Structure 1
Amino acid sequence: MAFRNATTSNSAANGLQDKEVIFPKGPEDTISALRWSPVSNHLAAACWDGKVYIFDANNPTSTDTIKGVAAITVGAPVLDCDFSKDGAIAVGAAADKKIHLMDLNSSQTMTLEGHTSPVRTVRFVDVPSANAPIIASGSWDKTVRYWDMRQPQPIGALQLSERVYAMDANSSLLIAATADNQVHFVNLHANPLQLWKSIESPLKHRTTAVSVCTGGTHWATVGIEGRAAIQIADEKDESYKALSYKCHRETSANNRNLTDVYTLNDVAFSPTHKDVLATAGSDGTYSIWDVNLRQRLRSFPKVAAPVTSLSFSRDGMNLAYAVGYDWAKGYQHSKAGTETKLVLRCFPKALKEEPTTKKKTFY
Structure 2
Amino acid sequence: MAPATQWEVAQPPHDAVSSLVFVPDSHKLLVSSWDKNVYLYNVGPNGAEEASLIKSYEFRAPILDACFGADEHEAFTAGLDEQVKRVDLTTGEQTLMSKHTAPVRCVVYSPEHSLLISASWDCTLHVHNMATGLASSPLPLTIKLPGKPHAMAASPSKLVVAMTARLVHIYDLPTIAKAITTKEPVVQPWQQRESSLKFLTRAVACMPNDAGYATSSIEGRVAVEWFEDTEKSQARKYAFKCHRLPAPEEEGGDIVYPVNALAFHPKYGTFASGGGDSTVALWDAEAKRRMRQLTKFPDSVAALAFSKDGKYLAIGVCPGFETGMEDYSGEGRTKVFIRELGENEARGKGAK
Question: After TM superposition, is the score higher than 0.5?
Answer: yes
Asked if 1:32 corresponds to 2:18, the answer is yes
**Equivalent pair of 1:34/1:309 in contact (CA under 8 Å):** yes
Question: Residues 285, 352 of structure 1: CA spacing in aligned structure 2 closer, same or farther, 3 A cutoff?
Answer: closer
Alpha-carbon separation, structure 1, partners of 2:155 and 2:330: 39
2:265 maps to 1:270: yes
1:339 Cα offset (Å): 1.6
Which residue is 2:255 aligned to? 260
CA deviations over 1:143-173 (Å, ceiling 9, x no partner): 1111245256642011001111000001110
1:238 and 1:327 mapped to 2: Cα distance? 40
- The match for 1:179 among 164, 167, 172 is 164
- The question of whether the paired residues in 2 share the 8 Å contact of 1:127 and 1:188 is answered with no
Residues 43 and 50, structure 2, Cα contact 8 Å, conserved in 1: yes
Instruction: Name the counterpart of 1:74.
Output: 59
Partner letter of residue 269 of structure 1? F
Partner of 1:212: 206
Match of 1:136 among 117, 120, 141: 117
CA RMSD of aligned residues (A): 2.3
Matched letter for residue 255 of structure 2: D
Aligned position for 1:346: 340
Aligned to 2:183: none
User: Which among 18, 41, 44 is matched to residue 4 of structure 2?
Assistant: 18
**Counterpart secondary structure, 1:190:** helix
Quote the residue 1:196 is aligned against.
190
Cα distance change of structure 1 residues 223 and 153 upon mapping to structure 2, 3 Å threshold: farther
Deviates more, 1:188-197 or 1:324-333: 324-333
CA distance in 1, matches of 2:46, 2:31: 16
Q: Which residue of 2 aligns with 1:309?
A: 303
- Give the TM-score normalised by the residue count of structure 1: 0.86
The separation in 1 between residues aligned to 2:137 and 2:324, in whole angstroms, is 37
* Structure 1 equivalent of residue 180 of structure 2: none
The structure-2 alpha-carbon separation of the partners of 1:328 and 1:164, relative to structure 1 and needing over 3 Å to count, comes to farther
In structure 1, the partner of 2:317 is 323
The alpha-carbon deviation at position 47 of structure 1 amounts to: 0.3
Aligned-residue offset at 1:239 = 5.9
Which of residues 44, 64, 74 is equivalent to 1:89? 74
The total of aligned residue pairs comes to: 338
Letter in 2 for 1:294: K
CA 1:253–1:152 in 2, change beyond 3 Å: closer, same or farther? Answer: farther
Distance verdict in 2 for CA 1:47–1:61, change over 3 Å: same
Q: For 1:211-230, what aligned pairs fall within 5 Å after superposition?
A: 211-230=205-224
The answer to whether 1:52 aligns with 2:38 is yes
Matched, 1:287 2:281: yes
Quote how far apart the aligned CAs of 1:198 are.
1.1
- Supply the AA of the counterpart residue of 1:182: L
Tell me which amino acid in the other structure corresponds to 1:91: F
TM-score scaled by length of structure 2: 0.89
When you count helix as a share of all residues, which structure comes out higher? 2
CA distance in 2, matches of 1:127, 1:155: 18
CA deviation after TM superposition for structure 1 residue 113, in Å: 2.7
Cα deviation code 1:225-283 (max 9, x no counterpart)? 10000000112284681110000011013536221000010111111122x00000000
Q: Deviations over 1:195-225 (max 9, x none)?
A: 1121111100000110111132110000111
Secondary structure in structure 2 of the residue aligned to 1:214: coil
Task: Give the Å deviation of 1:134.
Answer: 2.1
CA distance in 1, matches of 2:224, 2:349: 22
Equivalent residue runs for 1:147-158 within 5 Å = 147-148=128-129, 150=134, 154-158=139-143
**Matching residue within 66, 84, 93 for 1:108:** 93
- Residue type of the partner of 1:137? S
Name whichever of 246-255 and 341-350 sits farther off: 246-255
Query: 1:4 is matched with which residue?
Result: none
Equivalent-residue separation in structure 2 for 1:113 and 1:314 (angstroms): 28
Q: Distance in 2 between matches of 1:235 and 1:263?
A: 29
The 8 Å contact of residues 14 and 331 in structure 2, kept in 1 or not, is answered as no
The verdict on how the C-alpha distance between 1:335 and 1:355 changes in structure 2, with shifts beyond 3 A counting, is closer
Q: Structure 1 residues 162, 106: closer, same or farther in 2, change over 3 A?
A: same
Measure, in 2, the Cα distance between the counterparts of 1:202 and 1:343: 31
Instruction: Give unpaired runs (5+ residues) of structure 1.
Output: 1-13, 359-363
Aligned twin of 1:8: none
Residues 268 and 355 from structure 1, CA distance in 2 versus in 1: closer, same or farther, beyond 3 angstroms? closer
Q: Which amino acid aligns with 1:295?
A: R
Instruction: Give the superposition deviation at 1:103.
Output: 1.9
